[in-house]
């Protein structure tokens, strides 16, 4: 087993394709396939199951990849400390529900990041996709919320995916709407006051269960309802149609100057946190990101 082989399988797992990974690694597909097969034979495990639709990480492969990530990270730290290798391209990936504060913390991370090269990614994704991305180590961290309604169900999915949830903060529900909305001057809002306005929520695809909703009160009946795929569309509809959504109340005035947050008069909460693989320690850059996230959200709560 070599460090290079470990880097190969991590890249294949990230891409979900041997062909795509071979392009990123600048080696031929047959060479990459042979290197993975040699590693699997040596370790007496199957890391990737091959199917007609591509590759799927096996159960034992997921555990092996967890150790591989740790070895690669620790090796990089040793090289930095003793060989002064600080020009390596660091990789870091996050999946999150549609939270602007996650983007702000990401921006702060990049601004203060000290390396010359990096390969970062942040994906605003559906709830089920966040869980899958962290499970399959496409993302190191997943950011989402729990409350009394969804916690039991999502915790079951976390357990099956070998994920741990860590609380970041608890926020009271707020209504996000345009600063030009007829209700924009209200100090707080009741649900009944919103009945005549379009309710905006994020589409959850095939896993469109109430428990996977990014918005609380997912079973509440709405006269007018529009589902969207991205935050920009949601905010455009909030402005153009006097629509609204329900979220944490934490919003960036710099990124979204026309959107405001007004407290909603209901007895509920958002317990926002992050999930990570149980068998994988956070990377050094992951720890820095979490600290940035805590610092930014604490300043706004």
pLDDT, residue 261, reads 95
Nearest to 74 by CA among 288, 291, 283: 283
The stretches in the chain having pLDDT less than 50 are none
pLDDT, residue 86, reads 58
pLDDT, residue 202, reads 95
Strands (E) located in the chain: 48-51, 54-57, 90-96, 118-124, 141-146, 163-171, 174-178, 199-202, 225-228, 244-247, 259-263, 270-277
Q: Going from the N-terminus, what domains does the chain have, and what CATH number goes with each?
A: 1-82 (1.10.10.10), 170-271 (3.40.190.10)
Q: List beta partners, residue 144.
A: 273
**What pTM, to 2 d.p., does this model score?**
0.79
pLDDT, residue 88, reads 61
pLDDT, residue 115, reads 64
Q: List beta partners, residue 167.
A: 273
């Amino acid at each position: 087993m070599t460090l290079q082989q470990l880097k190969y399988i991590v890249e294949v797992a990230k891409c979900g394709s041997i062909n795509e990974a071979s392009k990123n690694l600048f080696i031929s597909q047959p060479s990459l396939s042979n290197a993975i097969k040699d590693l699997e034979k040596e370790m007496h495990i199957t890391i990737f199951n091959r199917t007609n639709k591509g590759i799927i990480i096996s159960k034992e492969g997921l555990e092996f990849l967890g150790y591989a990530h740790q070895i690669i990270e620790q090796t990089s730290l040793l090289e930095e400390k003793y060989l002064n290798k600080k020009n390596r391209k660091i990789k870091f990936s996050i999946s999150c529900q549609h939270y602007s504060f996650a983007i702000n913390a990401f921006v702060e991370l990049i601004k203060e990041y000290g390396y010359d090269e990096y390969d970062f990614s942040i994906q605003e994704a559906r709830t089920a996709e966040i869980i899958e991305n962290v499970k399959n180590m496409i993302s190191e961290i997943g950011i989402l919320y729990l409350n009394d309604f969804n916690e039991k169900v999502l915790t079951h999915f976390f357990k099956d995916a070998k994920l741990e949830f860590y609380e970041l903060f608890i926020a009271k529900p707020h209504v996000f709407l345009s600063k030009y909305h007829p209700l924009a001057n209200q100090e707080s809002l009741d649900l009944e006051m919103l009945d005549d306005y379009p309710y905006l929520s994020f589409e959850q695809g095939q896993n469109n269960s109430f428990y996977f909703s990014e918005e609380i009160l997912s079973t509440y009946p709405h006269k007018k309802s529009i589902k969207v795929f991205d935050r920009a569309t949601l905010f455009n509809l909030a402005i153009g149609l006097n629509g609204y959504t329900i979220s944490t109340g934490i919003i960036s005035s710099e990124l979204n100057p026309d959107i405001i947050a007004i407290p909603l008069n209901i007895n509920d909460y958002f317990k926002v946190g992050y999930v990570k693989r149980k068998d994988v320690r956070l990377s050094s850059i992951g720890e820095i990101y979490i600290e940035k996230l805590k610092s930014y959200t604490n300043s706004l709560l």
